[in-house]
Amino acid sequence: MITYQDPGKYTGISEDENARLFTFLQEKGLHVQLEIWDDPAVNWAAYDVVVLKSPWDYFDKIDQFYTWLNRLEELQVRVLNPIQTVRWNSDKRYLVELQEKGEKVVPTVWLEQGSALDVSDAFGQLQSEKIIVKPAVSGGAKNTFALTRPEAEAQADHINTLLQQESFLAQPFIPEVQTKGEWSILFFNGQYSHTVLKAAKAGDFRVQHFFGGTVHTPEPPAQLLEAAHNLVDKYAQDCLYARVDGVEQNGELVLMELELIEPFLFMATSEGAINRYYEALIAQLQAPAASMA
């Protein structure tokens, strides 16, 4: 079970979930080890299966992360979630792909590495008084900006400097994130498990708990759950876990992120969730070899 080098960066319930899950799986009789994904001393060939739980710094070391995935592939070590899915999901270009396929995604403008932010063009395409600009490979709201047009003009040079290092994307600011919250709908082995609704603290747009966001557990409206399930069926096949993050607009789910690498799973918020994870893992481990590719 994979973790990362510096526990403590994402404090509180995130670390508690990992410890609880590790102990639970051991108590169920599984031979589980916690390993740091970029620890050069680990003999990955000794493992039959690698479960990605919390490689939370992968986006800070993305080239090293890809090299590690390649190594696991060479060793024919099975990874949950599947390596090809992890690669696809690691770059938010996938949101542009889903948008082009007609899925309900927060409108996304791609900013290629080496390009420059055209503020007028971005605001014109997104038709929004405020936009979010964030890296294509990112997590934890790293280098994420919420900008009005004047603020974007003022920050353009800084963003363009960052654009020389990596690609970014621009999206309209979604006011429902502040007024209604952001839904996270959890699936284990393609089956619905539980839902949380994340709310940002007053004056902020970041819903992560380590930025002061709060977590609530209402039942999701049926149409949102159905939409999330459809996305998992299409784009998260053979995945041990999937988290669909979205916002409700006009009664419909608009996708913000499809989290298939290292999402926090909010298992403590739902009775039986940790056992559902275990059962999904057992089902994956018992799957025929042909379905493991």
Per-residue pLDDT of the chain (293 residues; tens, 9 = 90+): 999 987 555 554 566 899 999 999 999 999 999 999 999 999 999 999 999 999 999 999 999 999 999 999 999 999 999 999 999 999 999 999 999 999 999 999 999 999 999 999 999 999 999 999 999 998 777 789 999 999 999 999 999 999 999 999 999 999 888 888 999 999 999 999 999 999 866 555 554 555 556 888 999 999 999 999 999 999 999 999 999 999 999 999 999 999 999 999 999 999 999 999 999 999 999 986 434 33
Topology of domain 107-173, per CATH? Dna Ligase; domain 1 (3.30.1490)
Q: How far apart are the first and last CA of the chain?
A: 19
3-class DSSP state of 109: strand
CATH value of 176-271 in 3.30.470.20, 3.40.190.10, 3.30.110.40, 3.40.50.10490? 3.30.470.20
Q: Find all residues with CB under 8 Å of 231, minimum gap 6, and list them.
A: 103, 244, 255, 258
Side-by-side strand order, sheet with 168-172 = 109-111, 168-172, 130-135, 145-148
The model's pLDDT over 3-33, given as tens digits with 9 standing for 90+, comes to 998 755 555 456 689 999 999 999 999 999 9
Ranges of each domain in the chain: 2-90, 107-173, 176-271
Domains 107-173 and 176-271 share a fold: no
